[in-house]
Amino acid sequence: MNAPALETIEATRGCGSSACGCSSAAIDMTATAAQSAAQTTAPEVRINGRRLHIGPAEDLETVRERAWGEVLRQEAVRQGLLADESGDFAPTLSAGQQQVIEDMLDAAVVTPEPTAEACERYYASHKARFTHGQQAQLRHILFAVTPGVPVQKLAERAEAALLELTHKDAPAARFAQLAAELSNCPSGAQGGDLGWVGPQDCAPELAQFLFMQEGGIAKGLQPRLVHSRFGLHIVDVLDQRPGELAAFDQVQGRIAGELTLQSRATALRQYMLLLVGQAQVQGIELEGADTPLVQ
């Protein structure tokens, strides 16, 4: 049983065009963090006295997910939906028991359908998300975060390079020179040039920075470093194609689906907070609340 509202990280091609090799040149910082967490052995964990089976190599997030699942199993037992099982250890759930718990959640967590007015408000405040055909002509300098690299020193080096480039007397050719000298992306050999890229070509963090800001992004050298899972980027926007905003009726169904998912995730979290707040949890931190929460 997974904890509510877990986010999925999508695989990407890296920073941008086919000239970019960041996806192979750098280590995904999120994956690195997960590997570090996996090296930590979780302590003995009990939910209302029932001990969890924990393997020696299991990371903390896996143990936390199992703890959430045991909280739900015990709630299903309390409601008479599942028979309790004796023993000191929490039992492993069968497929049928998992379905019972899913049905219990569906009954307990009511998700209202979003109104047309709510969809229109969302559309008006997130127009960048519904604009198609956006592209930006970019060049960048990547300071890759890889195992063993001191991140603080890497950030200082990247900030120093950005400061040099923002100086009013910086030569026009200096960006390409620094890209060739410093960038950990193969595009450095072409002065950092990535060509024309769209949101689908970028790591999510770059796509968010370049294409999802309300009001768009200014052309030219960006005044701050852009952080992505591959490292730190100095980004220069050479040109832009604004794309076309989809009509509301074309995306209303998509918006309604997104709002429904958001509402359900919130309701699930609140339901779990209440259950955890009523449980005795030992050996692990689970966020909880002892009073009902209002959406």
Structure tokens, 197: 């890229």
Q: What is the pLDDT along the chain (295 residues), one digit of tens a residue?
A: 444 433 333 333 346 554 455 554 444 444 444 444 444 444 689 999 999 988 777 788 888 888 999 999 999 999 999 998 888 999 988 999 999 999 999 999 988 899 999 999 999 988 888 888 889 999 999 999 988 889 999 999 999 999 999 999 999 999 999 999 999 999 999 999 999 999 889 889 999 999 988 777 899 999 999 999 999 999 999 999 988 989 999 999 999 999 999 999 999 999 999 999 999 999 988 876 444 443 3
Fold classification of 134-242 is Chitinase A; domain 3 (3.10.50)
- Res 23: pLDDT: 52
What's the rounded Cα separation, in Å, for the pair 201 and 135?
10
Residue-by-residue DSSP string for 48-59? TTEEPP--TT--
Half-sphere exposure of 255 (CA within 13 A, CB side): 23
Domain boundaries, the chain: 30-114+253-282, 134-242
Integer Cα distance of 280 and 123 in angstroms: 43
Tell me which residue of 113, 167, 176, 93 sits closest to 139, measured CA to CA. 176
Write the Ramachandran bin of 192: left for phi over 0, alpha for psi from -120 to 50, otherwise beta: left
pTM of structure? 0.54
